[in-house]
Amino acid sequence: MQIFPDLRTITKAARLYHQERLTQAEIAGKLGLSQVGVSRLLKKAEEYGIVRTTVISPPGGFTELEGLLERRFGLNQVVIAEAARDAEESVLDAIGSAAAQLLETTLKSGEVIGISSWSASLLSTVDQMHPVRNIQKCIVVQMLGGIGNPSAEQHANHLATRLARLVHGDARFLPAPGVVGSASAGKILTQDPFVRDTFELFDKITLALVGIGSVDPSALVASSGNTFSEDELGTIKDNGAVGDICLRFYDKDGREVKWPFGNRVIGIDLEQVRRIRTSVGIAGGKRKLAAILGALRGNWINTLVTDQYTADRLAKHSVRERMAPQK
């Protein structure tokens, strides 16, 4: 039978190519074959399982876990950063670095980039980002007014300005507080021509960068001023809210929570975020778990940057949900 010499020749060609690093032309001369014939032998080596390809993730790579979360939550992409510790400061540093790298390698000319204000994860991202080469004509749009006191508005402007410089683009500000004192004040502000101009850009955003907020705010948000009173926060929680994107709240299943004070928020709404081609949620840590789960279940974002500890918790939740009896 001719199969044995064929297999020996295939194995020899594979060994010369993969182990001894000979070129196909050198192997052809050694075995008395054409280069096309050597190429066919190498393909046969893969088909017969003589050569097997194994992809080994580098340190800090979590490709299997990323793929699992992408499939489970229907996400376009998951990027998992390696945090040194399961602590908020370490997580923020890691996810900021990963998000910065993602932007540096994927941004294209002409992008309209939306960015929410007063987010520790977005601040970490912009602080760790390098100028992006070979792109132009980008616009950075502030999607939520500055929150609370005047220093918060300066922070929001800083984020938009800094990102615009990094992408060699222009910034479009939302010259209004993130939360106003009354619905009537909100209505008046949205009629301001400068605010209206920025609002009209929301439907043109191609890439959104958003933090995912917990109902229990971070120290950074708390220091921005009294966004909502304790009674208002209590009402939000009583309505089932677990998290927010741009101060638009949703419950654990991702359903938007229509709360009495929502018309005081000056910024993009959740449905507009959902329609954006690439909406990147940058969040991690124990405190944010319920908020991240709600955002994923509601499909409010299609890309997630998080840390390995949070990713593992998300995966465990997805397994428990799949195993739970159907009602």
pLDDT digits (tens, 9 = 90+) for 164-191: 999 999 999 998 888 888 888 888 988 9
**pLDDT for the residue 223:** 47
**pLDDT for the residue 132:** 93
Chain center to CA of 87: 20
**pLDDT for the residue 4:** 44
**pLDDT for the residue 85:** 96
pLDDT digits (tens, 9 = 90+) for 108-153: 999 999 998 778 899 999 999 999 989 999 999 999 987 655 444 5
**pLDDT for the residue 179:** 84
pLDDT band at 220 (very low <50, low <70, confident <90, very high): very low
**pLDDT for the residue 151:** 46
For the four alpha carbons of 199, 190, 272 and 81, in that order, the dihedral sign comes to positive
The phi, psi pair for 179, rounded to 5°, reads: -135, 130
**pLDDT for the residue 54:** 63
Q: Please state the rounded mean pLDDT for residues 84-91.
A: 95
CA distance 68 to 311: 10
Q: Which domains does the chain have, with CATH numbers?
A: 7-47 (1.10.10.60), 63-323 (3.40.50.1360)
pLDDT band at 323 (very low <50, low <70, confident <90, very high): low
Which residue is it, tokens 């132009």?
A: 136
CA distance 153 to 174: 9
**pLDDT for the residue 83:** 95
Query: Amino acid identity of 26?
Result: E
Range with the lowest mean pLDDT among 119-128, 227-236, 311-320? 227-236
Residue 60 pLDDT greater than 80, yes or no: no
Closest CA to 314 of 65, 57, 59: 65
Residue 159 pLDDT greater than 60, yes or no: yes
User: Which two structure tokens, joined as six digits, stand for 2?
Assistant: 């001719």
Q: Please tell me which residue, 56 or 125, carries the higher pLDDT value.
A: 125
Sheet strand arrangement including 248-251: 213-214, 241-245, 248-251
Range with the lowest mean pLDDT among 43-52, 137-146, 248-257? 43-52
pLDDT digits (tens, 9 = 90+) for 26-40: 999 999 899 999 999
